[in-house]
Amino acid sequence: MRKVKIHITLKEGVLDPQGKAVQHSLRSLEYNNVHDVRVGRYMEVLVDDKEDLEAEIDKMCDQLLANPVIENYSYTIEEAG
């Protein structure tokens, strides 16, 4: 069994209203050194180990987990345990 840790972020240039709201809130709390905030998603998926695991993960991300038009994703694979 493997644990896949997936990070999904908006592509550069895509408006991030949630990130702007967080940035505004941080500034209102006087964290004035914060210049930009981008909000993304993180998920962990447990999968069976198989030979073409990376291709399958890419397919999962492209078909369901991420929107490839506006989002990038990256992942790491490690032993589950």
Amino acid at 9: T
Q: Show the 3-state SS of the chain.
A: CEEEEEEEEECCCCCCHHHHHHHHHHHHCCCCCCCCCCCCEEEEEEECCCCCHHHHHHHHHHHHHCCCCCEEEEEEEEECC
Averages of pLDDT over each 10 residues, the chain, 81 residues:
97 96 97 96 96 96 97 96 79
Say what the pLDDT of residue 75 is.
Answer: 98
Say what the pLDDT of residue 81 is.
Answer: 79
Say what the pLDDT of residue 70 is.
Answer: 97
Residue 52 and residue 36: Cα distance in Å, rounded? Answer: 38
Residue 25, Cα to own-chain centre: how many angstroms?
A: 22
